Amino acid sequence: MQDLKKELLTVTGKIIKKYRGNKSISLLSDEIDLSKSIWSGIEKGNKDIQLTTLWRIAEDLNIKPSELLKEIENTLKKDFSFIEDI
C-alpha cells in the first residue's frame, strides 16, 4: 500500500511541477495561501494533499481540476489500484 501511495504522490507532484513550469513557487503559493514548503513537498511527492488543495493548485495553474486528475490517472500504470483482488 505504501508503494502505491508513493507512486500516486510522485506522479501527482511531477505533473504539478510540469504545469508550474518556470513560475515561482513563492508567487503561486502566495496566490492560494499555501506554504512554499508544502507546495515543494507536493512536487517532490512527499505530501498527501486534500482534494481541495489539489483543486486550488489546478485553478492557480490555469488547468481544470478534472484535466489534472485525468492526466494523473493516465500517467499511472494501467492496472493501478489501491484495491487488491480477492
pLDDT at 61 over 60: yes
Q: Please report the sign of the dihedral spanned by the C-alpha atoms of residue 20, residue 61, residue 81, residue 8.
A: positive
- Does 57 reside within a domain? yes
For residue 61, the domain's CATH number is 1.10.260.40
Measure CA of the first residue to CA of the last residue in the chain; give whole Å: 15
Give the three cell numbers for residue 35: 506554504
Domain limits at 41?
2-75
Give the three cell numbers for residue 68: 489534472
Pair 28, 60: CB distance under 8 Å: yes
Q: What is the pLDDT of residues 43-58, one digit of tens each?
A: 999 999 999 999 999 9
pTM: 0.91
- Does 65 reside within a domain? yes
- Does 54 reside within a domain? yes
pLDDT at 86 over 80: no
Q: Please report the sign of the dihedral spanned by the C-alpha atoms of residue 74, residue 27, residue 6, residue 58.
A: negative
